[in-house]
Structure 1
Amino acid sequence: MSLDRPRAEDPYAKLPAVPSFQVVSDDLVDGAPMPLDHVDDAAGGGGVSPHLRWSGAPEGTRSYAVTCFDPDAPTPSGYWHWCVVDLPATTTELARGADADLPAPAYGVRNDGGDVTYQGAAPPPGDVPHRYYYVVHAVDVAELGPGRDPSPAVVSFNLAFHTLARAVLVATHQQPAQG
């Protein structure tokens, strides 16, 4: 079966425009392939969430959300790899592997793999390079309010109404074809 399909558009181009701010990483380079440390362990990687550091969020930021989304997954809805909400407004960095040790009251939301921690990249072998949108959302409320067991889609819906600005870093990954 072929996975040939049109390239998915930038998922954030579909949302209301908001200002941007800066996000950088000691582990990822915007537009470049990610190191194996951040690939899913089932796909030969380490499955560790990357370091992220941000600055320049707008005045009025009361909390942050951090997400990782793959619009290139062969599904109609892409694939959510990571979703963290309610990071305190004083937070400006997540250390490598921080998904297991978030500052209170932040918490991880169930990803599309069913876990509340980071799930590394794992595109189908031989598929096109996938893009992983690591996004820090500056939020205008201290608690986003989707409850303790929302889906990332519900979080994303709430973020559409509460995001003051967005910082985006896109890394890529491609699994070699098997055989």
Structure 2
Amino acid sequence: MPKQHEFQGFGCSGGNKSPQLSWSGAPEGTGAYALMVYDPDAPTGSGWWHWQLVNIPASVNNLDAGAGDPGKNLLPAGSINITNDYGAKGFGGACPPKGHGVHRYQFTLYALSKKLTLPEGASGALTGYMVKAHSLATAKIEALYERK
């Protein structure tokens, strides 16, 4: 990933800009989408949630670059940002510890059977559970990032 997708904070100085994403070929019965961005290599014992976005309308097939910034109002109507592991709603860019090696950033799109009903302040774990419980299909891309 380029530096523009690196987090701004925690010792990182990137642009914290979410990448542009597009998809097609949703299965029949798709009622909504969810996007989960996760770093399994984070030295936490449980990885790191960089972005969880649920209830993307089924009629949508892309997210513009920078859509993960809640202040820009670029998300499709009805989409809901879940608080990431930085403690903010929206996209939180890559920020692996210096010298920790290459980290994998997994962008997984889920086609859901329906829009999700989640309580205010839902945790990443609860969100993940609900997404997987209503998943019809998934597509995943993986980006790599390292700070030396």
Shorter chain as denominator, the TM-score bin is: over 0.9
Quick one: percent identity of the two aligned structures?
A: 41
Q: Does 1:144 align with 2:113?
A: no
Normalization by structure 2: what TM-score?
Answer: 0.93
1:91-106 to 2 correspondence within 5 Å?
91-99=60-68, 100=70, 101-106=74-79
Normalization by structure 1: what TM-score?
Answer: 0.77
1:8-157 to 2 correspondence within 5 Å?
34-42=1-9, 43-99=12-68, 100=70, 101-141=74-114, 143-157=115-129
Aligned equivalents of 1:91 and 1:160: distance in 2? 20
Highest CA radius of gyration, 1 or 2? 1
| Secondary structure of 2:23's aligned partner | strand
How far did 1:70 drift? Answer: 0.3
What is the RMSD of the two structures over their aligned residues, measured on CA atoms? 0.9
Aligned equivalents of 2:112 and 2:38: distance in 1? 18
Point out the structure with the larger strand share. Answer: 2
Aligned equivalents of 1:57 and 1:68: distance in 2? 19
Structure 2 equivalent of residue 165 of structure 1: 137
Structure 1 runs of 4+ aligned residues shifted over 2 Å read none
Residue-by-residue CA offset, 1:124-168 (whole Å, 9 max, x unaligned): 000020000011110001x21122321111111111210101010
Aligned equivalents of 1:117 and 1:160: distance in 2? 20
CA contact (8 A) 1:109 1:148 kept: no
Residue-by-residue CA offset, 1:1-40 (whole Å, 9 max, x unaligned): xxxxxxxxxxxxxxxxxxxxxxxxxxxxxxxxx0111111
How far did 1:102 drift? Answer: 1.3
How far did 1:83 drift? Answer: 0.6
